[in-house]
Chain A
Amino acid sequence: MKYLCLGYYEERAWRALPEGDRQSLLEECRAYDEALWKNGYYLCGNALPGASGTITLRFEHGKVSVTEGPFCQSREQLGGILVLEAKDLNHAIQLMSRLPCMQMGGCLEIRPVEPAQKVNGELK
Protein backbone atom coordinates (compact mmCIF):
# COMPACT_ATOMS: atom_id res chain seq x y z
CA MET A 1 0.00 0.00 0.00
CA LYS A 2 1.14 3.50 -0.80
CA TYR A 3 1.61 6.14 1.87
CA LEU A 4 2.50 9.81 1.50
CA CYS A 5 4.82 10.79 4.35
CA LEU A 6 5.09 14.50 5.15
CA GLY A 7 8.03 15.54 7.35
CA TYR A 8 7.61 18.68 9.46
CA TYR A 9 10.56 20.24 11.28
CA GLU A 10 11.48 23.38 13.16
CA GLU A 11 13.63 25.53 10.87
CA ARG A 12 15.20 27.44 13.74
CA ALA A 13 16.42 24.22 15.39
CA TRP A 14 17.81 23.05 12.05
CA ARG A 15 19.69 26.30 11.40
CA ALA A 16 21.10 26.21 14.95
CA LEU A 17 22.93 22.97 14.16
CA PRO A 18 26.57 23.35 13.10
CA GLU A 19 26.99 23.08 9.30
CA GLY A 20 28.94 19.81 9.66
CA ASP A 21 26.12 18.22 11.68
CA ARG A 22 23.52 19.35 9.12
CA GLN A 23 25.50 17.82 6.27
CA SER A 24 26.05 14.56 8.18
CA LEU A 25 22.35 14.28 8.95
CA LEU A 26 21.41 14.97 5.32
CA GLU A 27 23.85 12.29 4.19
CA GLU A 28 22.43 9.80 6.73
CA CYS A 29 18.92 10.53 5.45
CA ARG A 30 20.03 10.10 1.85
CA ALA A 31 21.68 6.76 2.71
CA TYR A 32 18.49 5.64 4.51
CA ASP A 33 16.39 6.63 1.49
CA GLU A 34 18.70 4.51 -0.66
CA ALA A 35 18.29 1.52 1.69
CA LEU A 36 14.50 1.96 1.46
CA TRP A 37 14.74 2.14 -2.33
CA LYS A 38 16.86 -1.03 -2.54
CA ASN A 39 14.17 -2.85 -0.54
CA GLY A 40 11.41 -1.57 -2.83
CA TYR A 41 9.84 0.68 -0.20
CA TYR A 42 10.86 4.08 -1.58
CA LEU A 43 8.83 5.31 -4.55
CA CYS A 44 9.80 8.95 -4.62
CA GLY A 45 10.93 11.70 -2.31
CA ASN A 46 11.54 15.39 -2.43
CA ALA A 47 13.23 17.77 -0.02
CA LEU A 48 11.91 21.30 0.29
CA PRO A 49 13.94 24.39 1.17
CA GLY A 50 12.68 26.57 4.04
CA ALA A 51 9.15 27.90 4.06
CA SER A 52 10.26 31.24 2.59
CA GLY A 53 9.83 30.97 -1.18
CA THR A 54 6.45 29.33 -0.64
CA ILE A 55 3.38 30.78 -2.34
CA THR A 56 -0.25 30.09 -1.46
CA LEU A 57 -3.07 30.40 -3.99
CA ARG A 58 -6.73 30.88 -3.22
CA PHE A 59 -9.79 31.67 -5.28
CA GLU A 60 -11.65 34.61 -3.84
CA HIS A 61 -14.57 36.39 -5.50
CA GLY A 62 -13.81 34.57 -8.76
CA LYS A 63 -10.17 35.70 -8.83
CA VAL A 64 -6.93 34.01 -7.93
CA SER A 65 -5.28 35.58 -4.90
CA VAL A 66 -1.58 34.91 -4.42
CA THR A 67 0.03 35.22 -0.99
CA GLU A 68 3.63 34.71 0.05
CA GLY A 69 4.04 32.13 2.74
CA PRO A 70 2.82 28.62 3.54
CA PHE A 71 -0.77 27.41 3.90
CA CYS A 72 -0.41 27.11 7.67
CA GLN A 73 1.73 29.37 9.85
CA SER A 74 3.04 26.82 12.29
CA ARG A 75 6.25 26.55 14.27
CA GLU A 76 7.10 23.33 12.44
CA GLN A 77 7.02 23.56 8.64
CA LEU A 78 7.02 20.99 5.85
CA GLY A 79 10.59 19.98 5.01
CA GLY A 80 10.06 17.11 2.63
CA ILE A 81 7.80 14.37 1.34
CA LEU A 82 8.34 10.69 0.67
CA VAL A 83 6.02 8.24 -1.07
CA LEU A 84 6.40 4.85 0.58
CA GLU A 85 5.28 1.38 -0.47
CA ALA A 86 4.64 -0.52 2.78
CA LYS A 87 2.74 -3.67 3.80
CA ASP A 88 0.40 -1.73 6.08
CA LEU A 89 0.32 1.29 8.38
CA ASN A 90 2.37 -0.41 11.11
CA HIS A 91 5.06 -1.22 8.59
CA ALA A 92 5.05 2.40 7.36
CA ILE A 93 5.41 3.60 10.97
CA GLN A 94 8.32 1.22 11.59
CA LEU A 95 10.13 2.33 8.43
CA MET A 96 9.65 6.05 9.10
CA SER A 97 10.59 5.76 12.80
CA ARG A 98 14.12 4.92 11.69
CA LEU A 99 14.47 7.91 9.33
CA PRO A 100 17.57 9.62 10.79
CA CYS A 101 16.14 13.16 10.81
CA MET A 102 13.28 12.00 13.09
CA GLN A 103 15.78 12.17 15.97
CA MET A 104 15.84 15.95 15.57
CA GLY A 105 12.27 16.25 16.74
CA GLY A 106 9.51 17.39 14.43
CA CYS A 107 6.61 15.33 13.21
CA LEU A 108 5.95 12.98 10.32
CA GLU A 109 2.40 12.68 9.03
CA ILE A 110 1.49 9.46 7.23
CA ARG A 111 -1.43 9.55 4.77
CA PRO A 112 -2.71 6.55 2.81
CA VAL A 113 -2.87 7.35 -0.90
CA GLU A 114 -5.79 6.56 -3.20
CA PRO A 115 -5.07 3.50 -5.36
CA ALA A 116 -3.43 4.35 -8.71
CA GLN A 117 -4.74 3.59 -12.16
CA LYS A 118 -2.75 3.69 -15.34
CA VAL A 119 -3.41 6.47 -17.83
CA ASN A 120 -3.86 4.83 -21.21
CA GLY A 121 -5.60 7.66 -23.00
CA GLU A 122 -8.75 6.98 -21.05
CA LEU A 123 -10.51 9.13 -18.57
CA LYS A 124 -11.86 7.06 -15.68
Chain B
Amino acid sequence: MKYLLLVYMDEQAMNQAERAQCYKDSMQLCHDLVAEGQYLAASPLQPVATATSLRIREGKRLVTDGPFAETREQLGGYFLIDAEDLDSALAVAAKIPAARKGTIEVRPVLEIPNLPTDSRRESAVAVAT
Protein backbone atom coordinates (compact mmCIF):
# COMPACT_ATOMS: atom_id res chain seq x y z
CA MET B 1 0.00 0.00 0.00
CA LYS B 2 1.16 3.50 -0.75
CA TYR B 3 1.64 6.06 2.01
CA LEU B 4 2.48 9.74 1.79
CA LEU B 5 4.72 10.97 4.63
CA LEU B 6 4.61 14.76 4.99
CA VAL B 7 7.51 16.28 6.93
CA TYR B 8 6.70 19.43 8.91
CA MET B 9 9.30 21.44 10.77
CA ASP B 10 9.96 24.95 12.04
CA GLU B 11 12.39 26.31 9.44
CA GLN B 12 14.38 27.93 12.25
CA ALA B 13 14.75 24.66 14.17
CA MET B 14 18.02 23.69 12.48
CA ASN B 15 21.17 25.65 11.74
CA GLN B 16 22.95 25.22 8.42
CA ALA B 17 25.21 22.41 9.62
CA GLU B 18 22.28 20.50 11.16
CA ARG B 19 20.27 20.93 7.97
CA ALA B 20 23.15 19.63 5.82
CA GLN B 21 23.45 16.59 8.11
CA CYS B 22 19.69 16.10 7.97
CA TYR B 23 19.76 16.06 4.15
CA LYS B 24 22.65 13.57 4.21
CA ASP B 25 20.82 11.30 6.68
CA SER B 26 17.61 11.61 4.62
CA MET B 27 19.51 10.57 1.51
CA GLN B 28 20.76 7.51 3.39
CA LEU B 29 17.18 6.71 4.41
CA CYS B 30 16.16 6.91 0.74
CA HIS B 31 18.96 4.47 -0.17
CA ASP B 32 17.76 2.10 2.57
CA LEU B 33 14.18 2.34 1.33
CA VAL B 34 15.29 1.61 -2.24
CA ALA B 35 17.10 -1.51 -0.94
CA GLU B 36 13.89 -2.60 0.83
CA GLY B 37 11.80 -1.97 -2.26
CA GLN B 38 9.76 0.67 -0.41
CA TYR B 39 10.95 3.87 -2.08
CA LEU B 40 8.62 5.55 -4.56
CA ALA B 41 9.54 9.25 -4.34
CA ALA B 42 10.92 11.86 -1.96
CA SER B 43 11.94 15.48 -2.05
CA PRO B 44 12.78 18.41 0.17
CA LEU B 45 10.97 21.61 -0.73
CA GLN B 46 12.36 25.09 -1.06
CA PRO B 47 11.62 27.38 1.91
CA VAL B 48 8.02 28.31 2.66
CA ALA B 49 8.75 31.89 1.57
CA THR B 50 8.61 30.53 -1.98
CA ALA B 51 5.09 29.09 -1.54
CA THR B 52 2.15 30.37 -3.59
CA SER B 53 -1.53 29.64 -2.94
CA LEU B 54 -4.16 29.49 -5.66
CA ARG B 55 -7.92 29.66 -5.33
CA ILE B 56 -10.66 29.83 -7.95
CA ARG B 57 -13.72 31.73 -6.83
CA GLU B 58 -16.65 32.47 -9.16
CA GLY B 59 -14.42 31.61 -12.11
CA LYS B 60 -11.71 34.09 -11.04
CA ARG B 61 -8.14 33.19 -10.17
CA LEU B 62 -6.91 34.41 -6.76
CA VAL B 63 -3.17 34.05 -6.22
CA THR B 64 -1.52 34.86 -2.89
CA ASP B 65 2.09 34.58 -1.74
CA GLY B 66 2.49 32.13 1.09
CA PRO B 67 1.38 28.65 2.10
CA PHE B 68 -2.16 27.34 2.57
CA ALA B 69 -1.88 27.62 6.38
CA GLU B 70 0.33 29.88 8.45
CA THR B 71 1.61 27.46 11.07
CA ARG B 72 4.81 27.48 13.10
CA GLU B 73 5.90 24.17 11.57
CA GLN B 74 5.77 24.22 7.80
CA LEU B 75 5.95 21.52 5.14
CA GLY B 76 9.62 20.95 4.35
CA GLY B 77 9.50 17.78 2.27
CA TYR B 78 7.78 14.48 1.63
CA PHE B 79 8.36 10.76 1.13
CA LEU B 80 6.08 8.49 -0.92
CA ILE B 81 6.57 4.86 0.10
CA ASP B 82 5.20 1.39 -0.43
CA ALA B 83 4.52 -0.31 2.90
CA GLU B 84 2.71 -3.44 3.97
CA ASP B 85 0.44 -1.66 6.42
CA LEU B 86 0.15 1.40 8.63
CA ASP B 87 2.53 0.03 11.29
CA SER B 88 5.18 -0.51 8.65
CA ALA B 89 4.62 3.04 7.31
CA LEU B 90 4.91 4.44 10.84
CA ALA B 91 8.19 2.57 11.33
CA VAL B 92 9.56 4.32 8.22
CA ALA B 93 8.20 7.70 9.38
CA ALA B 94 9.97 7.32 12.72
CA LYS B 95 13.28 6.98 10.87
CA ILE B 96 12.91 10.28 9.00
CA PRO B 97 15.72 12.47 10.41
CA ALA B 98 13.52 15.58 10.61
CA ALA B 99 11.06 13.67 12.83
CA ARG B 100 13.29 14.46 15.80
CA LYS B 101 12.73 18.17 15.40
CA GLY B 102 9.35 18.26 13.69
CA THR B 103 6.19 16.34 12.89
CA ILE B 104 5.45 13.66 10.31
CA GLU B 105 1.92 13.27 8.96
CA VAL B 106 1.22 9.80 7.56
CA ARG B 107 -1.53 9.56 4.92
CA PRO B 108 -2.65 6.41 3.13
CA VAL B 109 -2.93 7.08 -0.60
CA LEU B 110 -6.15 6.45 -2.51
CA GLU B 111 -5.48 4.14 -5.45
CA ILE B 112 -7.34 5.54 -8.45
CA PRO B 113 -7.41 3.35 -11.56
CA ASN B 114 -6.03 4.77 -14.80
CA LEU B 115 -4.14 7.68 -13.27
CA PRO B 116 -1.12 8.42 -15.46
CA THR B 117 2.22 7.16 -14.15
CA ASP B 118 5.65 8.52 -14.86
CA SER B 119 6.73 5.83 -17.32
CA ARG B 120 9.90 7.84 -18.00
CA ARG B 121 11.26 7.00 -14.53
CA GLU B 122 14.73 5.53 -15.03
CA SER B 123 16.17 2.54 -13.23
CA ALA B 124 18.59 4.85 -11.38
CA VAL B 125 16.19 6.50 -8.96
CA ALA B 126 16.24 10.32 -8.86
CA VAL B 127 16.31 11.55 -5.31
CA ALA B 128 16.41 15.14 -4.18
CA THR B 129 19.28 16.08 -1.90
**Chain A positions near chain B (C-beta within 8 angstroms):** 2, 4, 6, 8, 26, 30, 33-34, 36-37, 42-49, 53-59, 64, 66, 70-72, 74, 76, 78, 81, 83, 89, 93, 96-97, 102-103, 105-120, 123-124
Contacts and interface: CB of A to CB of B under 8 A. Distances in A.
A121 to B, nearest CB: 8
Nearest to B45: A111
Given A59-B99, A64-B94, A111 B50 contact: yes
A106 B105 contact: no
Contact of A71 (B8, B44, B125): B8
A107 B24 CA distance: 33
Contacts, number: 176
Contacts of A123: 24, 27-28, 31
B12 to A, nearest CB: 17
A71 B124 contact: no
Interface residues of B, number: 63
B112 A26 contact: yes
Chain B CB within 10 Å, residue with most, of A53, A58, A74, A83: A58
A43 B121 CA distance: 9
Contacts of A70: 105, 107
B43 A116 contact: yes
Given A57-B94, A109-B68, A116-B43, 13 more contacts: A44-B41, A57-B93, A71-B6, A76-B68, A78-B6, A93-B63, A96-B54, A105-B57, A116-B127, A118-B125, A118-B126, A119-B34, A123-B27
A119 B86 contact: no
